[in-house]
């Protein structure tokens, strides 16, 4: 059976979604005030939340918000707009929604009920630090409950937890976010809290005894933008807030002026005759992860104008409409107004230097000695509470012991696993079980229940295979019942594929960055056996079924907010990205190997010979090959040295080609025919980035070879003598740091364990361990207590030659001054030559420092 004619996706009709959302039975139980709040929430609610969560859940949030407004001392001071957007609102980020408010309130409120609103907000952050601390995780945002179960989270998860906790006790709060920095390849999120009519900030799960303090203050003053999302159009702006965009569901605000000395850039767009262009798209971009990343996108008014407030550094302005596009590199230190004419004639290769804003100095009042002691005591107390919780988690040794006992029990169990002789894979089984039990953290009971239950008569071997196929985070928030459903349904089709296809593309419940939910049985029951057989022979029929039954709506509300497969089926609508997840979920539910192609985020199925696109519009595309070659013969790394973007409707979209590795100075890519932009970068210590842009055309069934190179420039080296610094070794003996590096070039770093900037540095060192094992490396901490830090322990394991030293009182004023480091903070990383002189240095929050330091050491 051949693929039919192309069918257009159904036009989105919002009323058809509302027809499936019945609020009448809930509103009947509501007071007038509760009904208003429910309607307010639903007016700005993402369709994904309507699909995945019940009205009863949202009514719980409504009643709790009204309760805390009436019973807290500060509730009466909160105006209606602030209450509706920042206390009532249940969603913070793109996290899975659970009713956390009552539980958080019962834990926190007794601690703060007699405090001022300001002091209460401070105390909430100490409570949050008792629950979690920073650790890098994957892109999926864990819910507040999951963060607590893990006792850690990345910044987006920590700030989600703290915002949720503040709202639970009636204190208005919002997550704010620098989507990309200019000075390093990363981003950051923190929290703003509304106190008596004014917004203050705090580092989530990084408590201070006062608000408006944090290690990220200088980084924020250099940011190109700091934004927050409000799920409403009813907002109140102030002089330090700029409206970026809004639609019927969401408003996006730029609050950069809270942190930085901003400058407004005015852009006028004209056609070649000088007539203003209304409706042209203006993108404001920064260099980050080697791509031109759009931090804000605006439309020109009738006069062809837009305005955007940002920091005084480099910004890239990219403008396009149906006639073409144009690009300008703007230095905000020198310009505040530009005029662009559309369209430009052709793509022109270019190179430029991207200079981040310098930023401001920290202006916060230094803490007194007494205040420093008080703060440290409170931090130590909170940390001890969290560590006590973590003691209930399995250590690696305990997890390994469990795995051994588990296998022994099942080896002696006559009823176990008639489907597979897992004795052949005893080593794999033990390692996988040990890993699952160790990484499940506070969700260990669910994983244990899944492994030990026997009522389902499911294969033990494939239980372990399933657990090994998902991510670490999935082990911390997926239930036993959910795993059972995926395994039971997948095993129906086990004989259709060899294991190398069956496990990752049929059995595995992880598809993209969505929350794992149950759906397979319900999807399978949508079709008769005859229909399933037909679909298995012609998997592209899944694409046609989705085209006919699922409407597509814009993902402008929140592009990373996914709807569950059952939710999409329930409301008959999805974003383009969620639709791809649904396609793969349906394929796997019907016994067809499926995946999402990372380069273009398109669903694909295995035909028995090759991977093919599910949807017609993807399947009809023509492909060629692009061979990129580095002029210097280096193996370039995607997102570190370069990216590739495809031209679509006169603008460029970066592709995710990170899975393809280079060999012998070349990378080979199978790409859709079209025009591509290749961006190469060379980031320097301090944040400056050298950029080159190339253009190349890929044609159908043709190999296109393109030579590219990074704008390599030798770093400016100094030879600053290292002061004679006596440090204490782990064995208690003293050592002179300068003597340790005599005749050996290497890297030393003063670090502050547990703080996010240090966590980034240590994790980067682990990633580059094969290089760090070849050079002298010293890490300097403030006390022996730092030795118990889990990330530091992992670094020691990864880099056995690493030396740990103690220096209780640290100044290093000479290094900060000689290298004109803008941030006099830790970590302080120094690169030393064979004579023990400091060649270069970097301080504070600078993601990528570990690799940049290695690069300079090699030069």
Q: Residue 416 has what pLDDT?
A: 52
| Strand partners for 153 | 134
Q: Residue 562 has what pLDDT?
A: 95
Measured distance CA(177)–CA(695) in Å, rounded:
32
Which residues, 6 or more positions from 639, have their beta carbon under 8 angstroms from its beta carbon?
185, 289, 290, 291, 658
User: Is 363 a domain residue?
Assistant: no
| Strand partners for 781 | 806
User: Is 64 a domain residue?
Assistant: no
Which residues, 6 or more positions from 732, have their beta carbon under 8 angstroms from its beta carbon?
none
Q: What share of the chain is helix, strand, coil (3-state, %, to 5)?
A: 35, 25, 40
Structure tokens of 384?
Answer: 């001890």
User: Residue 363: pLDDT above 70?
Assistant: no
User: Is 252 a domain residue?
Assistant: no
pLDDT digits (tens, 9 = 90+) for 757-815: 999 999 999 999 999 999 999 999 998 888 888 899 999 999 999 999 998 777 788 88
Q: How many C-beta neighbours within 10 Å does residue 418 have? A: 9
User: Is 512 a domain residue?
Assistant: yes
The rounded mean pLDDT for the chain is 92
State the DSSP code for 96: P
Q: Are residues 701 and 731 in the same domain?
A: no
Q: Are residues 81 and 198 in the same domain?
A: yes
User: Is 614 a domain residue?
Assistant: no
Q: Choose the final residue of a domain: 688, 713, 738.
A: 713
Confidence tier at 5 by pLDDT (50, 70, 90): low
Q: Residue 788 has what pLDDT?
A: 87
Query: Which helix (H) or strand (E) is 537 found in, with range?
Result: helix 529-537
User: Residue 315: pLDDT above 80?
Assistant: yes
Place of tokens 């499940």: 440
Which backbone phi and psi does 330 adopt, to 5 degrees? -120, 130
Confidence tier at 410 by pLDDT (50, 70, 90): confident
Measured distance CA(856)–CA(529) in Å, rounded:
63
Q: Are residues 475 and 537 in the same domain?
A: yes
Q: Residue 424 has what pLDDT?
A: 62
Measured distance CA(630)–CA(709) in Å, rounded:
5
Which residues, 6 or more positions from 359, have their beta carbon under 8 angstroms from its beta carbon?
218, 219, 221, 222, 260, 311, 822
Query: Which helix (H) or strand (E) is 382 found in, with range?
Result: helix 369-390
Contact 422, 383 (CB under 8 A): no
State the DSSP code for 441: G
Q: Choose the final residue of a domain: 540, 574, 608.
A: 608
Q: How many domains does the chain have?
A: 4
Query: Which helix (H) or strand (E) is 389 found in, with range?
Result: helix 369-390
Question: First vs last Cα of the chain: how many Å apart?
Answer: 60
| Strand partners for 297 | 283
Confidence tier at 651 by pLDDT (50, 70, 90): very high
pLDDT digits (tens, 9 = 90+) for 178-188: 999 999 999 99
Q: Residue 426 has what pLDDT?
A: 84
Share of the chain above pLDDT 90, in %: 78
User: Residue 137: pLDDT above 90?
Assistant: yes
Q: Are residues 522 and 478 in the same domain?
A: yes
Mean pLDDT of 89-109: 98
Mean pLDDT of 677-685: 94
Q: Are residues 686 and 752 in the same domain?
A: no
Q: Are residues 402 and 473 in the same domain?
A: yes
CA distances from 500 to 394, 432, 503, 598 (A): 30, 17, 6, 19
Q: Residue 824 has what pLDDT?
A: 84
Q: Residue 443 has what pLDDT?
A: 98
Among 61, 143, 132, 72, residue whose Cα is nearest residue 102:
61
Which backbone phi and psi does 457 adopt, to 5 degrees? 55, 35
CATH number at residue 188: 3.10.620.30
Place of tokens 């804003």: 357
pLDDT digits (tens, 9 = 90+) for 36-46: 999 999 999 99
Min mean pLDDT across 100-109, 124-133, 265-274, 406-415 is at: 406-415
User: Residue 88: pLDDT above 90?
Assistant: yes
Among 709, 708, 785, 798, residue whose Cα is nearest residue 753:
785
Structure tokens of 49?
Answer: 């939340």
Measured distance CA(645)–CA(731) in Å, rounded:
53
Contact 708, 638 (CB under 8 A): no
Measured distance CA(237)–CA(253) in Å, rounded:
9
Which residues, 6 or more positions from 244, have their beta carbon under 8 angstroms from its beta carbon?
227, 252, 253, 254, 296, 298
User: Is 418 a domain residue?
Assistant: yes
State the DSSP code for 470: S
Q: What is the domain extent for residue 412?
A: 396-608
Mean pLDDT of 516-545: 98
User: Residue 419: pLDDT above 70?
Assistant: no
Min mean pLDDT across 66-75, 420-429, 727-736, 820-829 is at: 420-429
Radius of gyration of the chain (CA): 28
Q: Residue 361 has what pLDDT?
A: 64
pLDDT digits (tens, 9 = 90+) for 323-336: 999 999 999 999 99
Q: Are residues 731 and 762 in the same domain?
A: yes
User: Residue 518: pLDDT above 90?
Assistant: yes
Which residues, 6 or more positions from 746, have their beta carbon under 8 angstroms from its beta carbon?
775, 776, 777, 778, 832, 857
CATH number at residue 302: 2.60.40.1120
Mean pLDDT of 44-57: 96
Alpha helices (H) along 72-171: 80-86, 101-112, 117-131, 144-150, 155-168
Q: Choose the final residue of a domain: 570, 585, 608.
A: 608
User: Is 350 a domain residue?
Assistant: yes
Q: How many residues does the chain have?
A: 859
User: Is 148 a domain residue?
Assistant: yes
Q: How many C-beta neighbours within 10 Å does residue 859 have? A: 12
SS3 344: coil
Q: Are residues 725 and 685 in the same domain?
A: no
Contact 614, 583 (CB under 8 A): yes
Q: How many C-beta neighbours within 10 Å does residue 379 have? A: 17
CA atoms within 13 A on the CB side of 562: 21
Contact 249, 224 (CB under 8 A): no
Contact 603, 642 (CB under 8 A): no
Place of tokens 């920073």: 134
Q: Are residues 208 and 333 in the same domain?
A: no
Q: Are residues 403 and 475 in the same domain?
A: yes
Measured distance CA(696)–CA(667) in Å, rounded:
15
Q: Residue 811 has what pLDDT?
A: 78
User: Residue 592: pLDDT above 70?
Assistant: yes
Mean pLDDT of 699-708: 96
Q: Residue 237 has what pLDDT?
A: 62
Confidence tier at 345 by pLDDT (50, 70, 90): confident
Q: Residue 239 has what pLDDT?
A: 61
Query: Is the preceding omega at residue 24 within 30 degrees of 0, hence cis?
Result: no
Min mean pLDDT across 22-26, 395-399, 548-552, 741-745 is at: 741-745
User: Residue 415: pLDDT above 60?
Assistant: no
Q: Are residues 681 and 728 in the same domain?
A: no
Q: Residue 366 has what pLDDT?
A: 87
How many degrees, rounded to 5, is the angle at CA 130 between CA 128 and CA 134? 70
Q: How many C-beta neighbours within 10 Å does residue 755 have? A: 19
Measured distance CA(167)–CA(91) in Å, rounded:
10
CATH number at residue 750: 3.40.30.10
Measured distance CA(802)–CA(556) in Å, rounded:
47
Which residues, 6 or more positions from 858, have their beta carbon under 8 angstroms from its beta carbon?
none
Q: Residue 417 has what pLDDT?
A: 53
Q: Do the bridges between strand 263-271 and strand 337-342 make them parallel or antiparallel, or are there none, so unpaired? A: parallel
pLDDT digits (tens, 9 = 90+) for 538-578: 999 999 999 999 999 986 667 789 999 999 999 999 999 99
Confidence tier at 4 by pLDDT (50, 70, 90): low
pLDDT digits (tens, 9 = 90+) for 818-836: 888 888 889 999 999 888 8
CA atoms within 13 A on the CB side of 433: 27
Q: Residue 207 has what pLDDT?
A: 97
- The distance from CA 846 to its chain's CA centroid, rounded to whole angstroms, is 17
Measured distance CA(110)–CA(106) in Å, rounded:
7
Three-class DSSP labels, 756-787: HHHHHHHHHHHHCHHHHCCCCEEEEECCHHHH
- 154-166 as b/e: b if 16+ CB within 10 A: bbbbbbbbbbbbb
Contact 51, 16 (CB under 8 A): no
Structure tokens of 323?
Answer: 């006639």
Measured distance CA(584)–CA(577) in Å, rounded:
11
Regarding predicted confidence, which is higher, 415 or 124? 124
Q: Residue 13 has what pLDDT?
A: 87
Among 623, 727, 628, 706, residue whose Cα is nearest residue 668:
628
Confidence tier at 316 by pLDDT (50, 70, 90): very high
Place of tokens 């639970």: 168
Q: Are residues 587 and 454 in the same domain?
A: yes
Measured distance CA(344)–CA(326) in Å, rounded:
5
């Amino acid at each position: 059976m051949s693929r039919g004619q192309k069918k257009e996706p159904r036009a989105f009709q919002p009323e058809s979604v509302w027809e499936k959302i019945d609020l009448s039975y809930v509103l009947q139980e509501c007071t007038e005030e509760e009904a208003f709040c429910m309607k307010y929430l639903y007016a700005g609610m993402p369709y994904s939340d309507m699909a995945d969560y019940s009205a009863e859940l949202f009514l719980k949030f409504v009643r709790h918000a009204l309760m805390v407004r009436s019973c807290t001392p500060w509730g009466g001071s909160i105006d209606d707009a602030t209450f509706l957007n920042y206390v009532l609102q249940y969603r913070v980020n793109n996290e899975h929604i659970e009713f956390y408010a009552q539980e958080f309130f019962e834990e926190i409120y007794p601690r703060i009920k007699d405090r001022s609103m300001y002091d209460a907000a401070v105390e909430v952050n100490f409570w949050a630090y008792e629950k979690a601390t920073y650790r890098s995780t994957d892109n999926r945002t864990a819910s507040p409950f999951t963060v607590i179960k893990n006792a850690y989270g990345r910044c987006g998860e920590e700030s989600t937890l703290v915002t949720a906790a503040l709202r639970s006790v009636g204190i208005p709060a919002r997550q704010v976010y620098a989507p990309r920095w200019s000075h390093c390849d990363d981003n950051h999120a923190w929290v703003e809290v509304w106190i008596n009519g004014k917004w203050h900030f705090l580092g989530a799960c990084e408590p201070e005894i006062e608000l408006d303090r944090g290690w990220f203050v200088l980084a924020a003053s250099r940011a190109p933008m700091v934004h927050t999302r409000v799920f409403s159009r009813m907002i109140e702006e102030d002089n330090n807030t700029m409206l970026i965009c809004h639609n019927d569901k969401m408003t996006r605000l730029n609050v950069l002026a809270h942190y930085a000395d901003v400058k407004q850039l005015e852009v006028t767009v004209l056609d070649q005759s000088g007539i203003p262009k209304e409706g042209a798209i203006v993108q404001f971009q920064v260099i980050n992860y080697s791509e031109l990343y759009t931090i804000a996108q605006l439309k020109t008014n009738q006069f062809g104008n837009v305005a955007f407030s940002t920091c005084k550094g480099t910004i890239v302005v990219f403008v396009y409409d149906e006639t073409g596009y144009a690009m300008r590199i703007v230095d905000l230190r020198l310009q505040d107004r530009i005029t662009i004419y559309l369209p430009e004639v052709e793509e022109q290769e270019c190179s430029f230097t991207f200079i981040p804003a310098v930023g401001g100095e920290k202006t916060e009042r230094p803490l007194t000695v007494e205040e420093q002691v008080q703060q440290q005591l409170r931090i130590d107390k909170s940390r001890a509470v969290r560590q006590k919780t973590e003691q209930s988690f399995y250590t690696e040794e305990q997890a390994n012991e469990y795995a051994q006992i588990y296998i022994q029990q099942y080896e002696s169990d006559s009823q176990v696993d008639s489907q597979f002789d897992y004795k052949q894979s005893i080593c794999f089984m033990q390692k996988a079980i040990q890993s699952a039990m160790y990484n499940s953290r506070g969700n260990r009971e669910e994983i244990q229940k899944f492994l030990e239950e026997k009522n389902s008569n499911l294969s033990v071997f494939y239980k372990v295979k399933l657990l090994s196929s998902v991510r670490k985070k999935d082990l911390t928030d997926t239930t036993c019942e959910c795993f059972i459903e995926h395994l039971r349904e997948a095993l129906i089709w086990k004989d259709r594929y060899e294991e190398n296809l069956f496990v990752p593309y049929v059995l595995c419940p992880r598809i993209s960055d969505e929350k794992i939910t149950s759906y397979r049985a319900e999807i399978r029951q949508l079709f008769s056996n005859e229909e399933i057989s037909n679909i298995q022979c012609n998997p592209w029929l899944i694409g046609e079924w989705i085209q006919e039954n699922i409407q597509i709506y814009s993902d402008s509300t929140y592009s990373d907010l996914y709807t569950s497969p059952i939710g999409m089926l329930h409301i008959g609508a999805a974003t383009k990205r969620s639709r791809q997840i649904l396609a793969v979920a349906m394929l796997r539910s019907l016994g067809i190997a499926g995946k999402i192609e990372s380069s273009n985020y398109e669903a694909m199925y295995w035909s028995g010979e090759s991977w093919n696109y599910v949807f017609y519009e993807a399947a009809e595309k023509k492909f060629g090959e692009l061979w990129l070659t580095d002029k210097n013969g280096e193996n370039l790394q995607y997102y570190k040295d370069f990216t590739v973007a495809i031209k679509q409707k006169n603008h460029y979209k970066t592709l995710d080609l990170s899975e393809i590795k280079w060999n012998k100075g070349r990378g080979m890519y199978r790409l859709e025919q079209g025009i591509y932009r290749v961006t190469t970068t060379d980031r320097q210590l301090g944040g400056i980035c050298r950029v080159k842009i190339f253009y190349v055309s890929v044609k159908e069934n043709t190999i296109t070879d393109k030579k590219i190179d990074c704008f390599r420039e030798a770093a400016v080296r100094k030879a600053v003598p290292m002061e004679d610094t006596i440090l204490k070794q782990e064995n208690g003996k003293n050592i002179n740091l300068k003597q340790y590096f005599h005749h050996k070039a290497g890297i030393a770093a003063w670090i502050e364990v547990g703080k996010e900037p240090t966590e980034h540095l240590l994790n980067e060192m682990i990633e580059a361990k094969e290089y760090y094992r070849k050079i002298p490396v010293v890490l300097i901490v403030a006390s022996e207590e730092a030795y118990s830090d889990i990330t530091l322990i992992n670094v020691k394991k990864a880099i056995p030659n690493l030396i740990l030293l103690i220096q209780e009182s640290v100044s290093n004023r000479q290094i900060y001054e000689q290298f004109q480091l803008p941030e006099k903070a830790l970590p302080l990383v120094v690169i030393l030559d064979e004579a023990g002189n400091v060649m270069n240095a970097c301080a504070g929050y600078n993601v990528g420092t570990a690799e940049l330091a290695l690069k300079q050491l090699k030069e």
